[in-house]
Amino acid sequence: MVTPTAVPSPTASPTETALSNATPRLEPTPTETTVPLPTLTPTPSHPEYTGPTLNQGDIGVQIYLHRVDVPALVAQLKELGVGWVKVQVSWKLYQPYPDQLSEERFADLDALVAQANANGIQVMLGVAKAPEWSRPTTELDGPPGDYDLFRQFTQLLAQRYAGQVAAYELWNEPNLQREWNGMPLDAAALVALIRAGAVGVRAGDPAALVISGAPAVTGINDGVTAVDDRVYFRGMLAAGVAEVVDDFGVHPYGWANPPDATFANPDTAPSAGSGQAVSSHNDHPSFFFQDTLRDYGDLLTEFGVIEKQLWVTEFGWGSFETFAQAPPAGAEFMNDVTEWQQATYTQRAYALAHDWPQVGPMMLWNLNFAPWLGDAFSESGYSLLRPDGTARPAFFALAALPKQ
């Protein structure tokens, strides 16, 4: 269990010490009034939450799994009170060769799935990153040359975890070159890949839910490095993704912008914690949590999709406060977020989404990458645990959310 550091007991003041060592007085003296010492109030471990009671089944967190103490990890999930845990299954690591599976990787996953189920926590697997042997190029990450290979792998997973894994998210941020290298960035091609993967999942476990892979929010639309996420999601809908999946993945990161802020009404005032305003990533709707969810919801309405939801399969606010070094290049915006703000923004995001019927479960990114990656990686800035394993205010904030 992660617990807050205790507040040290107060020590005697110099005045008290002097009085206790003084020579007894021989003559009457005026009556002295004893001034009581002030009571020390422990510093709160997290911001106060004033929002609605949330549904436990709408709250989740993504984890780092490889070689982790699984019982201790599940104990942390229970302390957080989450209803979901998400694991990224990097296909290339789980099937490094056509005829070989990684026993070590699957042993980790087997243990997590079993213990999560035993503790009433639903499991989502995000499946992406094709093995090098299946791709037309080995540079960066990308899809397989033959989509039927993806079907075979998703069916293998669904059969292995039938009745134990509740949902599969098929692919990750496919509008980025680094996640879809070797082929042109193409929403219709992603839908074809998802279609193959969905066939595999449903053949292995008809009860499992299929979620479409979420585009990345970037503000870039050059067609090579990235396609704007709204443009890409529209392309997915036009290609018929709604006919293939049960729900849709979305990654509404807020960068350093509070969840209440919007592109039309950004928060430009210096924050109480950092003493400065948001200094970057505030000039495009993709950089705002609320704008992303509303824009995707509008696209669903435009395409007549009313019965399916947006699953927030990643979101969060990164902070490098208390870390030993500055954020890596490209993540400087994390300097504009304190740990306290990270906790406050997380609470507020869950409260905001609670009132949106189009929004389904929300998987916070992430619980424990920092203790495993250290403070040199941007992923660590989002962690609920610091590199030394101690809990940040966001950990306690998530645990304290009222849930039913």
Q: Which tokens is 235 given?
A: 């392309």
- CA dist 211 → 2, 54, 119, 241, 329 (Å): 32, 22, 23, 10, 32
Q: Which tokens is 278 given?
A: 């948001």
Q: Is the pLDDT of residue 23 over 70?
A: no
Q: Which tokens is 205 given?
A: 């476990």
What is the per-residue pLDDT for 43? 80
- Return contacts of 89-94, CB within 8 angstroms, 24+ apart: 89/125, 89/126, 89/127, 89/128, 89/157, 90/128, 90/129, 91/127, 91/128, 91/129, 91/130, 91/131, 91/150, 91/153, 92/129, 92/130, 92/131, 92/132, 92/141, 93/129, 94/153
Q: Is the pLDDT of residue 322 over 70?
A: yes
The larger pLDDT score, comparing residue 386 to residue 20, is at: 386
Q: Is the pLDDT of residue 333 over 70?
A: yes
pLDDT tens for residues 208-236?
999 999 999 999 999 999 999 999 999 99
Q: Which tokens is 83 given?
A: 């209803």
Q: How far apart are CA 101 and CA 71, in angstroms?
A: 24
pTM of the entire predicted model: 0.89
46-400 belongs to CATH 3.90.1150.10: no
Q: What is the distance, to the nearest Å, from the Cα of residue 3 to the centroid of all Cα atoms in its chain?
A: 21
What is the per-residue pLDDT for 24? 33
- Please give the single-letter amino acid code of residue 328: P
pLDDT tens for residues 126-181?
999 999 999 999 999 999 999 999 999 999 999 999 999 999 999 999 999 999 99
The full set of domain ranges for the chain reads 46-400
Contacts of 221 (CB under 8 A, 6+ apart): 227, 228, 231
Q: What are phi and psi of 260, to 5 degrees?
A: -80, -20
